[in-house]
Amino acid sequence: MATKDDLMLALYQVIDPELHRDIVTLKMVKDVEVVDGVAKIKVELTTPACPLKDHIRRDIEAKTMAVEGITGVEVEMGAKVRGKSKEGRLPNVKNVIAVASGKGGVGKSTLAVNLALALAKTGAKVGLLDTDLYGPSIPIMLGIKGQMPDVDMIDGKEMMIPIEAQGLKIMSIGLMLKDTDAIIWRGPLLHKALTQFVEEVNWGDLDYLVLDLPPGTGDIQISLADLLPVTSAVVVTTPQDVAFADVLRAVKMFEVTKVPILGVIENMSGFVCPTCKAHHAIFGAGNIEAKTNELGLAFLGSVPLDAAVAPEADAGRPIVVSNPDSAPAQAITKLAGTIAGLQTVVHFQQ
């Protein structure tokens, strides 16, 4: 008759493909029992967005069925997101992921919104902070334009409460501006505004806070690196050489500020004609994957063009929500899982 110890020995052979350690040592196995020859195993993954959960499940089943006396396997999978230390700023936010680009016009904000939504769809608690003070577009993309965040007294201090929409907690300077308002601020005022977003917003408990950074490598990016416990960053580019040249500057900035770079995303990678099904490299075929690898960075994936992405975003319906089966939505959903997995790897390496 198989025992609990027999099962645990078998589970030591199940290796997490990203962390390269067994799931017992990683403390993912929460409960094991044998009932009438059936192994019942409870596993807690490191993120609900784990891209390899099915692989891990199959491996558990295979290793467990190899135990003498086991006639069946029931695997119950949950998840608890691993995160940074609770010390310092944003103690209740486990991960702060910056979405950056070296230049404008590469679809960074659209990707940031859809990545945040894709993470939230897995069951994670997700916030989205629009730090592009000069061009805040997230209120439009999420259909919350014109809404004002409430203010509440928490522990004797006035705190802004993020707007909640589409499963996200959202804060943006755009929520506080009229359509015709322009921000003409220099460094000190920018730093003060960002400090308020960090210290005077009650984000509550979050698994992931996604930052939509402004394009470039200026005051705002440097201030955020000082103010926020950014746990990782991804850099967005398009296939054009002129866009990838600016990736190098963004990468250098994160290296200087000691923020781990998870990798590079190629946006607008090509367009598939809905009529003839031919692939058109509208912005050229820049071989971004090879260029990224030459820098020693991970190529996270590509997101194709789709004529529906822009109008859906303008209407407050991001593509991951409005058309989850579309090619861009599928690509972004896969990217969200990859990013969540890599963020876990970063924590285990630190």
Going from the first residue of the chain to its last (350 residues), give the mean pLDDT of each consecutive group of 10, the final group possibly shorter: 93 94 95 95 94 95 96 96 82 94 88 98 96 82 91 88 96 73 59 80 95 80 80 91 81 88 90 68 72 90 89 93 94 96 88
Q: Is residue 85 situated within a structural domain?
A: no
For position 57, which CATH number holds? 3.30.300.130
- Asked if residue 106 and residue 199 are part of one domain, the reply reads yes
Per-residue confidence (pLDDT) for residue 177, from 0 to 100: 64
Per-residue confidence (pLDDT) for residue 62, from 0 to 100: 97
- Asked if residue 213 and residue 121 are part of one domain, the reply reads yes
For residue 343, give both structure tokens: 């963020």
Q: Is residue 290 situated within a structural domain?
A: yes
Q: Is residue 91 situated within a structural domain?
A: no
Domain assignment of residue 18, given as a range: 4-79
- Asked if residue 116 and residue 71 are part of one domain, the reply reads no
Domains identified in the chain, total number: 2
Q: Is residue 263 situated within a structural domain?
A: yes
Domain boundary among 27, 44, 79: 79
- Asked if residue 109 and residue 45 are part of one domain, the reply reads no
Q: Is residue 57 situated within a structural domain?
A: yes
For residue 35, give both structure tokens: 């009932």
- Asked if residue 141 and residue 49 are part of one domain, the reply reads no
* E-assigned strand segments in the chain: 29-35, 38-45, 72-79, 96-100, 126-130, 150-154, 157-161, 163-165, 168-172, 208-212, 232-237, 261-267, 271-272, 279-280, 299-303
- Asked if residue 101 and residue 52 are part of one domain, the reply reads no
- Asked if residue 282 and residue 174 are part of one domain, the reply reads yes
pTM: 0.90
Q: Is residue 246 situated within a structural domain?
A: yes
- Asked if residue 312 and residue 218 are part of one domain, the reply reads yes
List beta partners, residue 32.
41
Pairing of strands 279-280, 271-272: antiparallel
Nearest to 211 by CA among 168, 164, 255: 168
Q: Is residue 90 situated within a structural domain?
A: no
Per-residue confidence (pLDDT) for residue 245, from 0 to 100: 80
Give the separation between CA 347 and CA 82, rounded to whole angstroms. Answer: 7
Give the separation between CA 101 and CA 113, rounded to whole angstroms. Answer: 14
- Asked if residue 254 and residue 227 are part of one domain, the reply reads yes
- Asked if residue 290 and residue 322 are part of one domain, the reply reads yes
